[in-house]
Amino acid sequence: MKLSFSAADEQFRIEVATWLEENLVGEFAQLRYRGGPGDEHMFPEERKRWEQKLAEGGWTCVGWPKEHGGRGCSIEQQVIFHEEYARAGAPGHVGHIGEGLAGPTIIAFGSAAQQAKYLPGIVAGKELWCQGYSEPGAGSDLANVKTKAHFDEQKQQWVINGQKVWTSLAHESDYCFVIARTDPDSVAHKGLGFFLVKMDQPGVEVRGIEQLTGTSEFNEVFFDDAVCAADDIVGEPGQGWAVAMGLLGFERGVSTLGQQMQFQNELNQVITLAKENGAASDPVIRQRIAEAHAGLKIMRYNSMRTLSGADDGSLQKEALMYKLFWATWHRDLGELAMDVMGPEAEMLDGGPYELSRLQSMYLFVRSDTIYGGTNEIQRNIIAERGLGMPREPRVTIKPQ
């Protein structure tokens, strides 16, 4: 088990921290601690420029192989990068879906032509992506996707019809990766395709969904005879499930580990407030703060243990617990923040619906236990894949 970083890695930490200190200034200084979950609507244009600034410094796609334009960082260096990024209060990445999901998927499953066409725009921080998986009837049960894609032989292109929902940042995105049924008579995970679809075209309509936070960072997306070039399907028609599942492996991967520093920032804010308003003298609040602190330490050491991994570099089964643990911890932090705020938690900063950062955090963290796999689904995964328990019965419904 490795519980510390090497001297070379610590040197890398200094390099990251120094670059951030020197560059998160001027017009970017206002972005500190902004643009994270629940705050993604803030400063979109400035954050796009920041993304390009990062690219100039070689700090986008740090974990990608160098041959694809990345920095080729080891897992340890990636963790350090994300930690220092959050420690500096650098803003939420508008390009995180391209960098963390679309790009790695195109690297793993895409053709050389797709890699040449799409990866440079992601590395440069200039082309943003969104994820077109969920539909009104297909969330946890993703195999229930109904959106259809048929190949127009005459025009030699794919034509897509259907609806996606909860599509984060679709309103800012240039492209969407879409799972759609290439075989209309297929059921479950068979007969699907994985498409790279341009958002700016007739036949793609994005409608914002207002969230509890009063902001709107996800959307409904409607495809009405939207088109996609013949060679913009990743993998074979009908074989999209393997690509879609491969992508989810990236979603649960290393980039989530650096978020602990962001959690630390939030916990620090709660502790500061508790000291200021006297809540820290309440023994129950003190105990909950101590538990939150302990939870963060557990996350850190468990991550380090998981990263030490098996000799072949694969993640251990313990990694399956991570999503369930952090999502629940973060939800509880939101509740702790409200109790520390006391009666003020129920007051608005201003009208008509101006929330403080902690109020916004409290409301947004409810969704942590939903996206990227709900808590219930994570428990199924731990039971079935981690503990080898029998699979729960599955029902296959034929789409109408």
Ligand X SMILES: Cc1cc2nc3c(=O)[nH]c(=O)nc-3n(C[C@H](O)[C@H](O)[C@H](O)COP(=O)(O)OP(=O)(O)OC[C@H]3O[C@@H](n4cnc5c(N)ncnc54)[C@H](O)[C@@H]3O)c2cc1C
Residue (of 84, 99, 98) closest to 24 by Cα position: 84
**Residue 190: other Cβ atoms inside 10 A:** 16
Nearer to ligand X, 136 or 184 (CB): 136
Does residue 203 interact with ligand X by CB under 6 A? Answer: no
Nearer to ligand X, 36 or 132 (CB): 132
**Residue 353: other Cβ atoms inside 10 A:** 11
In which residue are the tokens 């001027």 written? 26
Does residue 325 interact with ligand X by CB under 6 A? Answer: no
Does residue 28 interact with ligand X by CB under 6 A? Answer: no
Does residue 167 interact with ligand X by CB under 6 A? Answer: yes
Nearer to ligand X, 248 or 304 (CB): 248
> Taking a C-beta distance cutoff of 8 angstroms, is the pair 68, 118 a contact?
no
Out of 194, 218, 250, 263, name the contact with ligand X by CB under 6 A.
Answer: 218
Does residue 133 interact with ligand X by CB under 6 A? Answer: yes
371 burial (CB, 10 Å; 0-12 / 13-18 / 19+) is middle
Out of 277, 376, 385, 396, name the contact with ligand X by CB under 6 A.
Answer: 376
Backbone angles phi, psi at 174, to 5 degrees: -90, -30
What single string gives the DSSP state of each residue in 226-262? EEEETT-EEEEEEBHHHHHHHHHHHHTSGGGTTHHHH
Strands (E) in 166-239, as ranges, are: 175-181, 192-198, 204-209, 218-229, 233-238
Stretch that binds ligand X, among 74-82, 88-96, 127-135, 194-202 (CB under 6 A): 127-135
> Taking a C-beta distance cutoff of 8 angstroms, is the pair 228, 158 a contact?
yes
Does residue 139 interact with ligand X by CB under 6 A? Answer: yes
In which residue are the tokens 């963290």 written? 365
Nearer to ligand X, 40 or 76 (CB): 40
Stretch that binds ligand X, among 131-139, 302-310, 328-336, 342-350 (CB under 6 A): 131-139
x/- letters, 335..374, toward ligand X (CB under 6 A): --------------------------------x--xx--x
What one-character DSSP code corresponds to residue 216? -
Does residue 140 interact with ligand X by CB under 6 A? Answer: yes
Out of 17, 75, 377, 382, name the contact with ligand X by CB under 6 A.
Answer: 377
> Taking a C-beta distance cutoff of 8 angstroms, is the pair 177, 131 a contact?
yes
Nearer to ligand X, 74 or 374 (CB): 374
CB of 253 to ligand X, least distance (A): 16
CB of 223 to ligand X, least distance (A): 13
Site size for ligand X, by CB under 6 A? 20
Element containing residue 332 per DSSP (H, E) = helix 322-341
CA distance 391 to 384: 6
251 has catalytic annotation: yes
Backbone angles phi, psi at 68, to 5 degrees: -105, 15
Out of 134, 163, 182, 359, name the contact with ligand X by CB under 6 A.
Answer: 134
Nearer to ligand X, 74 or 375 (CB): 375
CB of 380 to ligand X, least distance (A): 6
Does residue 85 interact with ligand X by CB under 6 A? Answer: no
Nearest residue relative to ligand X (C-beta): 139
Does residue 326 interact with ligand X by CB under 6 A? Answer: no
In which residue are the tokens 């942590």 written? 368
CA distance 264 to 270: 10
Stretch that binds ligand X, among 163-171, 189-197, 295-303, 327-335 (CB under 6 A): 163-171
Residue (of 189, 201, 197, 144) closest to 167 by Cα position: 197
Among the listed residues 21, 251, 291, 384, the single catalytic one is 251
CB of 374 to ligand X, least distance (A): 3
- Torsion angle of the four alpha carbons 337, 339, 341, 346, in this order, in degrees rounded to the nearest 10: 110
Does residue 259 interact with ligand X by CB under 6 A? Answer: no
Q: Which residues are catalytic?
A: 251
Residue numbers at the binding site for ligand X (CB under 6 A): 130-134, 139-141, 166-168, 218, 367, 370-371, 374, 376-377, 380, 392
